Each structure stands twice: as C-alpha cells, then as structure tokens.
Amino acid sequence: MSGGFAAQRDRMVDRQIAERGVRDPLVLDAMRRVPREAFVPERERTEAYRDHPLPIAGGQTISQPYVVALMVEALGLGGGEKVLEVGAGSGYAAAVVAEIADEVFAIERIGELAVAARANLADQGYANAHVIHADGTKGLPEEAPFDAILVSARTPTAPAPLLEQLAPGGRMVVPVGLGVAAQSLMRITRVSEDDYRADDLGEVWFVPLIGEEESR
C-alpha cells in the first residue's frame, strides 16, 4: 500500500466523512482500512480519494466515499451479520461491509464487473465477501434471510424479493426514486413478518437498478 494513498485515505475519512456527520467508529475504521485506489481503474487512481463518484467498467460508477459511509452506517452493523449487497460494481462497498460483517454476498448483473469485483476483493484478502453474477432484483433466496441489505442502485420501489429476504429486525438501505430528480435514500426496517418501517435519510444520485423485478 502506498504511503501517499494511506495519507489521502486518512484525510478523506476526517474531512469528507467524519466532518459531515458519520460517527460510527466501525464504519470510520473500515473506511480507513479499505484501499479505494484498488477498486478503481488504474487511470482513475490519482482521483481515488476525491469527494465524488468515479467511472468504472460497464458504464457504471463507484460511489462517492461519503455516500458509501453513510449507507453502511445506516445498516447499523455491529459485527457478525450476513449482508446482501445489490449492485457490487467494482467491489468497494462490499469490502467496507466485509470489514465489519461476518459475511457479504454481493450481486452484480454485468459480467465484466462481477469478474473484476471478485478479483479486487480476492486481491485484498476479503475471503468473507462473495460476488455472484446474477439479477440483483431477485436477491439471493438460497442464502436468505439477511440481517442487512445494501442496494447500490436506484429503484422506483424496493423490490419485493429483497423485502422478503430481510430478516425480522433487519435493515435495507436503498435509493428510491425515478431518476428524473435526486432519489431519497431510504432505510427500511423489517419490524415483523408483515410490517416494515421506512426512514428517509436524504437525497442521493444513483444509476438505475436493472432486472426482472424492476419491469413488473
């Protein structure tokens, strides 16, 4: 790991994340440990710790560091959880979650990205993070229920299969909106078998979630 990148990472956490209100020490520590430069294309590495998204393969983006930290904090992880991520991208958010949770299953519909994310996570030693090339809107029923679900793409409404795969007491963080304007970052808590509570965490901008459940 480059000493220069390590210093940039510390400044990112202090100035872009902690100063903007993210307080969970587990999240802050995870953001300090994950080398974001390893999850962006080589041509973008000098920009790895800037406060904005960056382009990756497949016309997709790696999210702004602050937004990743905000979403992971909203999951309320304490360690030991099984987490589902929908929209793995290059694997960066899965790595942050893997620093805290026991096991992470990250679904990516674009084959090129799934291969890259799997390699990125393996290169950084995240044996507890698993990348699946599949339709994320269907979730991963064979591994359900999940203590937390992170959806890293916008959707008009939270797909029903994901809600069904959330464990009682579990939390889903998902950008909800049509994409013509900023989306609302929602935290959906499964209160009981048939009851869910939604909290609006503010405005975000994400690429669309694409899959079979989005066309229904």
From 2, 63, 184, 215, the catalytic residue: 63
Does residue 126 carry a pLDDT above 50? yes
State mean pLDDT over 155-169.
Answer: 95
- Domains (range + CATH), the chain: 3-215 (3.40.50.150)
Q: DSSP character for 165?
A: T
| 3-state percent breakdown (helix, strand, coil) of the chain, nearest 5 | 40, 25, 35
pTM of the entire structure?
0.93
pLDDT by residue (tens digit) across 177-213?
A: 986 778 999 999 999 988 999 999 998 888 878 877 6
Summary mean pLDDT of the chain: 93
What angle do helix axes 25-33 and 3-11 make, rounded to 10 degrees?
Answer: 150
The pLDDT value recorded for residue 215 is: 45
Residue 174 and residue 148: Cα distance in Å, rounded? 11
Task: Check if 63 is active-site.
Answer: yes
State mean pLDDT over 14-30.
Answer: 97
State mean pLDDT over 118-129.
Answer: 98
Q: Provide the CA 177 distance to its chain's centre, in angstroms.
A: 17
| Other CB atoms within 10 A of residue 184 CB | 17
